[in-house]
């Protein structure tokens, strides 16, 4: 086991897959010469050359179209959005082409493309650059949607994404890039989609989250443990496919659930998870499912307002107490 940071784990996954499969290549703004805005692709241009690490013009629809076409033609592109907020420029390519081509070709044309980049909220990036839009992609049939929380998951899930024949939305959290964790030595280590991880066991309440929301849950669970409340924390890892079985099994033990996310609350991933809990574990519930989410406003720039709009571990702990009331 080696200890590395989340962004290094992302880089490791790409390096390993590019070494393993010559069809894998990278493209995006500033991924080559500039070494990546967050230094995720650092050293890769030098290692693999300009044919496999392609600096593109500043055009997200161009990047998405190029990558989708290359994937249809048999390559395995990993396209980077400098942030997922910029991917809004590419929506037609993503939703109308990448997500649908397999269906529209009657299964004859696969589209094994990975769209990746930093997502998430915070650090005063303001309304247009600080937002979580994962539910948009989870809503669209055809995508697999992956949001890793740990370095090991970032690497194991990205390797699975690159090997997957479907278009994969891979959202890294900019706020997690600097976090460290142990990463397996096996160069073939992958993590399958649709398998949630139980990050902490507990018998009183199930906390369901993904990406940085898991961090809030872990901190809230620490707080609550001091008061004798034991929370089980589930990291979904992939939103599509969604491992509702693990969630339902946990709720069957704890009889209480709180869903935690950074994205807006209205018509969101949390709405979906809560609904699935009702569908799959209704008779196990001893209280309504609680949801903790970002405030339904464009992200404010002012630091104090931004802080008020982003959920905290205290919000999570309060929700747990509400559901246990």
Partner 1 sequence: MAEMRMPKMGDGMEEGTINTWLKNEGDMVQAGEPIAEIETDKANVEISAYETGILTKILVQVGQTVPVGEIIAQIGAETASSAASAPQKIETVAAATPAAASRSENNGYAPVERERVKASPLARRMMAASNLDAAQLHGTGPGGRIVERDVQAFLANQEKPAPALAVELTSPQPVAASAETVKPSRMREAIARRTTQSKQQIPHFYVTMAVEMDRAQALLKELNADNPDGKVTVNDLIVKSCAIALQRVPAVNATWTSENTVKLFAEAHIGVAVGIEEGLIIPVVKNCQAKTLRAISAETKSLIKKARTGQLKPEEYSGGTFSISNLGMMGVDEFTAIINPPEAAILAIGGIFREFVPGENDAITVRSRMKVTLSADHRLLDGVVAAQFLQEVKKTLEAPFSLLS
- Which sequence positions are flagged as catalytic? 60, 129
**Cβ closest to partner 1, residue 73 vs residue 325:** 325
Q: Could you write out the DSSP letters of every residue in 45-81?
A: HHHH-TTTEEE--S-HHHHHHHHHHHHHTT-EEEEEP
- Residue 307: in which H helix or E strand, if any? helix 303-309
Residues in contact with partner 1 by CB under 8 A are 255, 282-287, 325
In whole angstroms, the minimum distance from the beta carbon of 80 to partner 1 comes to 45
**Cβ closest to partner 1, residue 225 vs residue 285:** 285
Half-sphere exposure of 62 (CA within 13 A, CB side): 9
Q: Could you tell me which residues come within 8 angstroms of residue 119 by beta carbon, excluding any fewer than 6 positions away?
A: 83, 84, 132, 133, 134, 147, 171, 172, 173, 174, 211
In whole angstroms, the minimum distance from the beta carbon of 210 to partner 1 comes to 25
In whole angstroms, the minimum distance from the beta carbon of 282 to partner 1 comes to 5
Q: Which residues of 291-323 are buried (b: 16+ CB within 10 A; e: fewer)?
A: bbbbeeeebbeeeeebeebbbebebbbebbeeb
**Cβ closest to partner 1, residue 60 vs residue 232:** 232
**Cβ closest to partner 1, residue 222 vs residue 286:** 286
In whole angstroms, the minimum distance from the beta carbon of 139 to partner 1 comes to 28
């Amino acid at each position: 086991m080696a200890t590395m940071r989340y962004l290094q784990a992302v880089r490791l996954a790409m390096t390993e897959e590019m070494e393993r499969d010559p069809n894998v290549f990278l493209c995006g703004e500033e991924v080559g010469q500039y070494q990546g805005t967050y230094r995720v692709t650092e050293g890769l241009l030098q290692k693999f050359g300009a044919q496999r690490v392609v600096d593109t013009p500043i055009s997200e629809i161009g990047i998405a179209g190029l990558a989708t076409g290359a994937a249809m033609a048999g390559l395995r592109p990993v396209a980077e959005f400098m942030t997922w907020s910029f991917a809004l420029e590419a929506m037609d390519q993503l939703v109308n082409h990448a997500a649908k081509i397999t269906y529209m070709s009657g299964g004859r044309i696969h589209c094994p493309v990975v769209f990746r980049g930093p997502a998430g909220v915070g650090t005063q990036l303001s309304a247009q650059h600080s937002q979580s839009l994962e539910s948009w992609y989870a809503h669209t049939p055809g995508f697999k949607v992956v949001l890793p929380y740990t370095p090991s998951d970032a690497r194991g899930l990205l390797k699975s994404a690159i090997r997957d024949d479907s278009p994969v939305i891979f959202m890294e959290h900019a706020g997690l890039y600097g976090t460290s964790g142990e990463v397996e030595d096996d160069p073939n280590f992958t993590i399958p989609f649709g398998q949630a991880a139980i990050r902490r066991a507990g018998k009183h309440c199930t906390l369901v989250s993904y990406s940085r929301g898991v961090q809030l849950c872990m901190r809230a669970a620490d707080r609550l443990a001091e008061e004798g409340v034991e929370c089980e924390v589930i990291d979904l890892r992939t939103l599509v496919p969604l491992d509702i079985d693990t969630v339902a099994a946990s709720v069957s033990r704890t009889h209480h659930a709180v869903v935690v996310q950074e994205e807006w609350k209205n018509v969101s991933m949390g709405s979906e998870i809560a609904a699935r809990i009702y569908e799959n574990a209704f008779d196990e519930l001893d209280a309504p499912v609680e949801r903790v989410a970002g405030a339904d406003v464009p992200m404010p720039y002012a630091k104090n307002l931004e802080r008020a709009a982003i959920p905290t571990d205290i919000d999570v702990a309060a929700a747990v107490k509400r559901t246990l009331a």
